[in-house]
Chain A
């Protein structure tokens, strides 16, 4: 595929995404609003952090809010927005239409993934700037590890959303399924309130949900966690990395196996 065509495709997909008010709200407006709302209410609560080397550090809730938000922004994209695009391609015969053009089919999946990545980065950048200006937030972690965790969450949720909607041909069904999967995950992950307040059974369910792992990974890494640090799930950071990686791998295989182009 020539570079002009790829640029055109990604540019056009970006415009289409910007015309989807629901997705823009979910990826940009809502995380920023949650960030500000929680930042001004519970943001001053202190988070004492003990390092592996025994030294102590002190953070506040507002420092880490945006890390948790980015976890569910990647989940919302992967489970709701990306499947909407792909199901729409299926529903309207768009995959089929491109099959009689020189467009390589994989590009039709890569382009919305690239657009989604740009939107996640934009959302993160916006929260960083606002967080820095409004709350003077601190970052206590390893930027490369945090970036790795964001990429892993993004890929795992994108693969998950693509796999579960691999045969769905109606955007309404796809949206319904996406919301049914995403909403409980969001609540049980602790993103909108501490998991410790939930009944034990719900905490247990939450322990197995990928968003809980992504959320814990990002918040703990933001505060300087290492591979061995134990999160609220009761497992070390590396286990959550591996768990998300495994979900991503299984879902990529399932997507390849079950994906319908028409």
Chain B
């Protein structure tokens, strides 16, 4: 994780608001991104991540609030603004008959300075399909091309909307390596992802959005520390006899219990594993091996956002 060189602000959103008809997509979001940092926006689908990014990119005009990116207003200062940013959109944006090599050269020509194309292509694994038409590529290949086109102009600030969705683990690893190298050279990165483990490992700051509002924000390690969570224990219902959700929730050390049809997910502090084990042995229940792991961002996300389907190793 790269430490920001200074506390200079690269971009700032203040009370950002955007609605589509009656649906408020972004509802009073404020945050600031330090120059030279990797800033990650996470949240469930429909949380307002893409709309927030599009307001920062100048693609959408906010209904309220203000946006400053590199000291510029993305819409009013559009001509100067577009030279300072690089953008990867979730949907594509390349003519299907254009070959990958042509797209790289065309986009590179738009900027005064650009990254070495051979290196960019090698690091993002584009070499094998440089001569192929964009329309014939797989989803992951298209994604990598779009990442390359976002970075090729060596922007001060790169906006990447779910860059690693659909990439295999090797490609994701290489993507992050390359992005961190650019970050170390001074590029500020604003990224969205559904992979919280990536956010924890590679990002300086994480912003949780839910239903268009900021839930919490900060460095991942700090968020985990401040949450009071240390571990998560999974108990199969079938082995628990009469023990119920309320019994577990009443234990000291337990912060939250979530019951599903098959299991209880017990979130707690550093003593939660012992507390659960003692309680079960008192009750004469022997669930076999206790399945436990340290708390991570998934747990913070789950408790903060309160949405289903994050446990079960989905990230």
What are 10 of the A-B contact pairs (CB < 8 Å)? A12-B106, A88-B95, A93-B89, A94-B93, A96-B59, A97-B93, A100-B87, A101-B87, A101-B107, A101-B153
Are A100 and B97 CB-contacts (below 8 A) given A4-B109, A93-B89?
Answer: no
Give the residue among A7, A12, A15 with the most B Cβ atoms within 10 A.
Answer: A12
Query: Does A5 lie at the interface of the complex (its beta carbon under 8 Å from any beta carbon of B)?
Result: yes
A99's contact among B59, B91, B110, B153, by CB below 8 Å, is which? B59
Q: In the assembled complex, how far is the CB of residue A184 from the closest CB belonging to chain B, in whole angstroms?
A: 29
Query: Does B2 lie at the interface of the complex (its beta carbon under 8 Å from any beta carbon of A)?
Result: no
Distance of A15 Cα from B99 Cα, bound (Å): 10
Are A100 and B110 CB-contacts (below 8 A) given A93-B92, A93-B93, A94-B94?
Answer: no
Residues of B whose CB lies within 8 Å of any CB of A are 57-59, 79, 82-83, 85, 87, 89, 91-98, 102, 105-107, 109-111, 133, 153
Q: Cβ of B82 and Cβ of A101 under 8 Å apart?
A: yes
Q: Cβ of B58 and Cβ of A103 under 8 Å apart?
A: no
Q: Cβ of B92 and Cβ of A92 under 8 Å apart?
A: yes
- The 9 closest A-B CB pairs, nearest first, are A97-B93, A100-B87, A5-B109, A8-B109, A93-B93, A19-B97, A102-B82, A8-B106, A102-B110
Q: Cβ of A16 and Cβ of B97 under 8 Å apart?
A: yes
Q: Which residue of A lies closest to B74 (CB)?
A: A100
8 additional A-B residue pairs with CB within 8 Å, beyond A92-B93, A93-B89, A102-B111 = A1-B110, A9-B106, A16-B98, A19-B97, A97-B89, A100-B58, A101-B87, A101-B107
| Residues of chain B lying within 8 A (CB to CB) of residue A2 | 109
Q: Cβ of A92 and Cβ of B94 under 8 Å apart?
A: yes
Query: Does A157 lie at the interface of the complex (its beta carbon under 8 Å from any beta carbon of B)?
Result: no
Distance of A16 Cα from B134 Cα, bound (Å): 12
Distance of A5 Cα from B110 Cα, bound (Å): 5
Query: Does A53 lie at the interface of the complex (its beta carbon under 8 Å from any beta carbon of B)?
Result: no
Query: Does A20 lie at the interface of the complex (its beta carbon under 8 Å from any beta carbon of B)?
Result: yes
Query: Does A89 lie at the interface of the complex (its beta carbon under 8 Å from any beta carbon of B)?
Result: yes
Distance of A19 Cα from B134 Cα, bound (Å): 13
| Residues of chain B lying within 8 A (CB to CB) of residue A5 | 106, 109-110
Q: Cβ of A97 and Cβ of B94 under 8 Å apart?
A: yes
Q: Which residue of B lies closest to A93 (CB)?
A: B93
| Residues of chain B lying within 8 A (CB to CB) of residue A4 | 109
Residues 70 to 87 of chain A near chain B (Cβ within 8 Å): none
Distance of A183 Cα from B51 Cα, bound (Å): 43
| Residues of chain A lying within 8 A (CB to CB) of residue B94 | 92, 94, 97
